[in-house]
Amino acid sequence: MQRFILSKKNQITLIGGILIIIGFASELIYKNEIIALWSLAIASVLGLAPIAIQAYQALKVKVVSIEVLVTIAVVGAFLIRNLEESAIVTFLFLFGAYLEQRTLNKTRSAIKELTEMAPESALKLMENGEFEEVEVDEVDVGDVLLVKTGAKIPVDGTVLTGEGYINEASITGESLPLSKEKGLGVYAGTILENGTLQIVAERVGEDTTFGKIIELVEEAQDSKSEAERFINKFSKYYTPAVLVLAIVVWLFSRDIELAITILVLGCPGALVIGVPVSNVAGIGNGAQHGVLLKGSEVIHDFSRVDTMVFDKTGTLTIGNPKVADKRMYGGNTDEVLAYLVSVEKESDHPLAKAVIEYIGETKTYIVEKTDVVKGGGIVAYVEGHRVAVGNVALMEEEQVHLNEQAHEDIKKLEANGNSLVLTSVDGELKVLMGIRDRVRPGVKEDLQKLKKLGVKNLVVLSGDNQGTVDLVASELGLTEAHGHMLPENKAAYVEDLIAKGQVVAFIGDGVNDSPSLAIAQIGIAMGSGTDVAIETSDVVLMNSDFSRLPHALGLTKATANNMRQNIFIAVGVVLFLLASVFFSEWMNMSIGMLVHEGSILVVILNGMRLLRYKLKY
């Protein structure tokens, strides 16, 4: 019975509305008091039923909900025979709830669109050798799946046979289809636009990249900020407090009308819904623009950022450095280059890759006793010779003598923005290489936008020499540049900024810079490994797309503002209503309920504006 009534809430609302019209019409036009009385009475009782049931259920689990207040108020109005009030209040409450549900669904639509992209079924290879359609939950790691043109890839896996074009927009934001063939990785939630593939499942369900993104966004939209937790705690005591206030007023004034009016006016409606609505709309907008915000605390912090600290290589620059200049000292060139390549092959440093690529085909030797000097380079033995490859500091440590010519070359290359790789054999300088990396296209404009959004300090920190870092900084218009920084130096620098009271966002790669990412109030990991980026970042930029950073910042500012507006509206309305019940003549239950429901819709509509937010510049 209870469930039946609750499920017919919309119909009850409609009937209630019609009955109220009949009631008023017969009273005002036909002067038929009896019909008016009856229709309003029926509307009251009918409309109260679902509210009272919910109130009862709330009380059963020890919650004094809004429904409890409304139920008492309506029963009170009914008992003092104020049927117009009781009918209108129940109707407005139900109709308001209906509109609330409708508009709320709109604010959630952005995220819903995302979650609906999750694959639901898969064609799985069964023991009999046939492919059969199963629910995606039934796919295990190692299963072989068939994907046909137009279908979603159900899991993360590797192509076994076949080829095709896949649209990976749901993961990377890049909508240009990618060609996939045997051995290449495919991701759940992406769409096979053309072709047929057999894939083997490697990660399923929530473990897939797409699953993680969905979980992140879902948790984020319901995460609570400090302010929201406060409001929730507040409303837990607020509703009982309103009840007590009404009873006290009744005891002192013996005015039931006044007491029940207070019950209705005191409802905290817009207050509890205002902040979550802004939150969900803001996060939804982000999800559609390739920006994943991990919750409302992140929105709050990021909107206040005044200092952004960037790693250089791979963040501001493309991260694919090339050798631009080479100087040789002393003879035996081929032999030295062969030593150099042999040692560099031990390293996965980006500069080492550039060196190997530049020298190309050469003889290689067995390398022994490799010692990686942190922030310096590598020292190893090749053919009995001690070979050191690294920066100037390493050469000094190795007590390599740098003659005047070398000093001059070093200065010149540094000034041109090169990173330096020096090679010594048995303590003698042999090769000097200048390696350069290009800045990412569009980064300069993006940084300008960040400045316009109110970021005061744009800082670059790098392990590279000061010359290179300075050049990048002046090219991009950064405010500060510091070279020769090890990961721990960077972290200490960030800590220092925070101690000075600045709100710092650090943007760097998720592996080397993880200490800084963790220390900064906001950490944003770049890097093509989406998994690392998702786990370590507070704000995830899909496909590590730098150009989404200004949108992310602008959006968090707009969202934080929106929350403040909603809190202001909600608190303002309650204060206004409570004040007017004591100081004005015209306030009654119906108007109070109308204003309440109105304010709830206003905060929801205000939140919905965020769905359309776009950066202005």
Partner 1 sequence: MKKATIQLESLACPSCVLKIENAMKSLKGVDKESVKVLFNSSKAKFDFDEEEVSLKEAEDAITALGYEVKKAQAKDK
List 143, 156, 301, 311, catalytic entry: 311
Q: Does 3 bind partner 1 (CB under 8 A)?
A: yes
**Token representation of residue 237:** 């005591």
Indicate the pairing of strand 185-186 with strand 156-167: antiparallel
Q: At what angle do helices 589-608 and 83-115 cross, to 10 degrees?
A: 10
**Type of residue at 510:** G
Q: What is the DSSP letter of 441?
A: T
Q: Output the smallest distance, CB 563 to partner 1, in A.
A: 14
CB-nearer residue toward partner 1: 53 or 402: 53
Q: CB 3 → partner 1: shortest distance, Å?
A: 6
C-beta closer to partner 1: residue 86 or 239? 239
Site for partner 1 in 368-427 (CB under 8 A): none
Burial of residue 269 (CB within 10 Å: 0-12, 13-18, 19+) is buried
Query: Interface with partner 1 includes 83 (CB under 8 A)?
Result: no
Window 59-78: residues binding partner 1 (CB under 8 A) = 61-63, 65-67
Q: Does 188 bind partner 1 (CB under 8 A)?
A: no
In the sheet with 377-382, reading across from the earlier edge strand, the strands are: 322-328, 428-436, 419-425, 385-390, 377-382, 367-373
Q: Compute the least distance from the CB of residue 305 to partner 1, in Å.
A: 25
Least distance from partner 1 to the Cβ atom of residue 269, Å = 9
CB nearer to partner 1: give 218 or 325: 218
C-beta of 27 vs 143, nearer to partner 1: 143
> Could you give the CA distance from residue 427 to residue 401 in angstroms, rounded to a whole number?
8
Among 26, 54, 307, 556, indicate the residue that binds partner 1 (CB under 8 A): 54
Among 14, 42, 45, 58, binds partner 1 (CB under 8 A): 58
Q: Which is nearer to partner 1, 98 or 381 (CB)?
A: 98
Q: Is 311 tagged catalytic? A: yes
Give yes or no for residue 285 binding partner 1 (CB under 8 A). Answer: no
If you write DSSP's letter for every residue of 338-379 in order, what string do you get? HHHHHHHTT---HHHHHHHHHH-S-----EEEEEEETTTEEE
Which residue lies nearer to partner 1 by CB, 65 or 468?
Answer: 65
The helix or strand, by DSSP H or E, that contains position 457, with its residue range, turns out to be strand 457-461
How far CA 214 is from CA of 15, 170, 221, 456, in Å, comes to 40, 11, 11, 33
Consecutive H or E run containing 459: strand 457-461
By the 8 A CB rule, do 52 and 8 touch?
Answer: no
Q: Return phi, psi of residue 268, to 5°.
A: -85, 15
| Total site size for partner 1, rule CB under 8 A | 35
445 binds partner 1 (CB under 8 A): no
What residues form DSSP beta bridges with 425? 387, 428
What is the rounded distance in angstroms from the CA atom of residue 185 to the CA atom of residue 153?
A: 11
Contact between 104 and partner 1 by CB under 8 A: the answer reads yes
Distance CA 348, CA 276 (A): 46
Residue 194, beta-bridge partner list: 165
* String marking each residue 216-235 x if it binds partner 1 according to CB under 8 A: --xx-xx---------x--x
Least Cα distance to 601 among 277, 296, 283, 282 occurs for 277
Helices (H), 61-194: 66-79, 83-115, 169-172
Question: Judged by CB under 8 A, which of 43, 72, 97, 603 binds partner 1?
Answer: 97
Query: Min. distance of Cβ 63 from partner 1 in angstroms?
Result: 5
- Restricted to residues 546-605, the positions that interact with partner 1 (CB under 8 A) are none
Q: Which one, 272 or 291, has the nearer CB to partner 1? A: 272
- Among residues 154, 157, 276, 319, which is the contact residue for partner 1, using CB under 8 A? 276
Measured distance CA(72)–CA(78) in Å, rounded: 10
Nearer to partner 1, 94 or 171 (CB): 94
Site for partner 1 in 107-166 (CB under 8 A): 108, 111, 115, 137
Q: How far is the CB of 137 from partner 1 (least distance, A)?
A: 7
Burial class (CB in 10 A: 0-12, 13-18, 19+), 51: buried
- Which of the ranges 29-37, 95-103, 309-317, 512-520 carries the binding residues for partner 1, by CB under 8 A? 95-103
Question: Quick one: 196 or 223, whose CB is closer to partner 1?
Answer: 223
Contact flag: residue 610 with partner 1 (CB under 8 A): no
3-state secondary structure of 30: coil
Binding region for partner 1 (CB under 8 A) out of 24-32, 248-256, 269-277, 475-483:
269-277
Residue numbers at the binding site for partner 1 (CB under 8 A): 2-3, 6-7, 53-54, 57-58, 61-63, 65-67, 97, 100-101, 104-105, 108, 111, 115, 137, 218-219, 221-222, 232, 235-236, 272-273, 276, 279-280
Residues tagged active-site: 311
